[in-house]
Amino acid sequence: MTTTTTTTERRRLTAIRAAWLFDGVSDALAPNPTVVLDGTTIVAVHGPDEVPDGADVIDLAGATLLPGLVDGHVHTVFDASADPVARLAERDDAAAFAAMTAFARAAARGGVTTMRDLGDRDYLSLGLRAAAAADPGLPHLLVAGPPITTPGGHCHFLGEGAAGVAGVRAAVRERAERGVDIIKIMASGGNMTPGSRPEVPQYGPEELRAAVDEAHRLGLRITAHAHSTQSIVDALAAGIDGFEHLSFMTADGIDPIPDDVLTGLVARAVTVGLTLGFKPVPGAAPPPGIVARRPALMANGRRLIESGVHVIPGTDAGIAPIKPPDVIRWAFGQFQEIGLTAAQALHVCTARAAAALGLGDRKGRLVPGYDADILAVDGNPLTDTEALHRIRTVYLRGTALALA
Ligand SMILES: [Zn+2]
């Protein structure tokens, strides 16, 4: 038996020094950190005077280092224009893929180092996920493929419709065979599709149970887009793992959260992706129906948090100009509006979101052994919400992005 010895030249370490560090889980910032990277990984977090011999030193005076942000719900196929559905319809797959890549790069430059795409067209996000694994300019990506929806239902133009118990089961199987990371099902109608009504369920209890059962049988988690109260009740009863929006929407308003739904969400530790985050854009505003409902939506969000429901950011980035690829930075402020402290809002945008996405062992924290996904901002985001927008640099798996 022969032994082959491979000599690899040791990479130079990088030591990033800054004013403060938020590690993803603490309630306070640590002063004067030195974060040491070896290639794509954080290997040490030291105090100021502990720079390893021979390391390249990056001095970010006045900056706070945070874990890169984690968004649980984006749509890379939508380009955050005034009519992303029409724009997508004009694009063939190659053009759509180029736009999706540009979306992902923009997200990374805005501090988003991990994101979950909950609805593409024709599985294009699988190619983007593969590209991201090899390209240090693209965030880490989890993907659902096209959402499961009824023929002609909400976002039907993203793939093929699925109806009935057998149809839903087949749709889950197809996605599993393609290699998606999670199943997304449109339990109710939605806002972007003409003719679709958010307050009306798309699937009944049996179809939802079949979808959950098939997903779990194939080892996948499943999250439900659900606006209508009935679709929320049915999906919860079906054993759903996550909700998107969870708006309790009626034809003309928002229902209060039924007590038994709240109890069920907590007892079953269901993850709720809240659609927070609106970038102020001159001339662009949320739809009037959302503006009118916003106080009631925010009140429900506050109740979820007070009750201990596991919430994460699920921004729906891409669906409108107020939802650009990096809109999660505006969700940070809105989480505070519904009752989180600034530190808790950072927890949900980093470590807690990463854990909910199944990446809690390598993303969302600045500790040794974790991926070197780092957002450096000017100032202290715990006392100044705007600090999150003053980006100094972003490291994606150890590589500093060029911020144009
Ligand atoms: Zn969405």
Token pair, residue 127, equals 């190619």
The CA 312 to ligand 1 mean position distance, Å, reads 14
Interval 2-52: pLDDT, tens: 444 454 556 789 999 999 999 999 999 999 999 999 999 999 999 887 889
Residue 106 backbone phi and psi in degrees, to 5: -65, -40
The CA 26 to ligand 1 mean position distance, Å, reads 30
The CA 29 to ligand 1 mean position distance, Å, reads 33
Say what the pLDDT of residue 3 is. 45
Say what the pLDDT of residue 178 is. 98
Interval 190-212: pLDDT, tens: 988 888 899 889 999 999 999 99
pLDDT mean across residues, the chain: 95
Say what the pLDDT of residue 309 is. 97
The CA 27 to ligand 1 mean position distance, Å, reads 31
CB 146 within 8 A of CB 180: no
Token pair, residue 356, equals 């909910």
Q: Looking at the predicted structure, is the pLDDT value of residue 72 above 90? A: yes
Say what the pLDDT of residue 196 is. 86
The CA 303 to ligand 1 mean position distance, Å, reads 22
194: three-class secondary structure by DSSP: coil
Task: Give CA–CA dist 216/239, Å, rounded.
Answer: 10
Say what the pLDDT of residue 284 is. 87
Q: What is the dihedral of CA 102, 146, 127, 358, to 10 degrees?
A: 90
Q: Report pTM.
A: 0.95
The CA 75 to ligand 1 mean position distance, Å, reads 6
Q: Are strands 242-249 and 69-74 parallel, antiparallel or unpaired?
A: unpaired
Please state the rounded mean pLDDT for residues 316-335: 97
The CA 235 to ligand 1 mean position distance, Å, reads 17
Single-letter amino acid code for the residue at 130 = A
The CA 117 to ligand 1 mean position distance, Å, reads 8
The CA 392 to ligand 1 mean position distance, Å, reads 30
Token pair, residue 319, equals 């669906």
The CA 326 to ligand 1 mean position distance, Å, reads 15
Percent of the chain residues topping a pLDDT of 90: 88
Interval 244-260: pLDDT, tens: 999 999 999 999 999 99
The CA 316 to ligand 1 mean position distance, Å, reads 5
The CA 184 to ligand 1 mean position distance, Å, reads 9
Q: Looking at the predicted structure, is the pLDDT value of residue 101 above 50? A: yes
The CA 39 to ligand 1 mean position distance, Å, reads 34
Task: Give CA–CA dist 34/244, Å, rounded.
Answer: 37
Neighbours of 269 (CB within 10 A): 11
349: three-class secondary structure by DSSP: helix
Lowest mean pLDDT, pick from 3-12, 67-76, 142-151, 291-300? 3-12
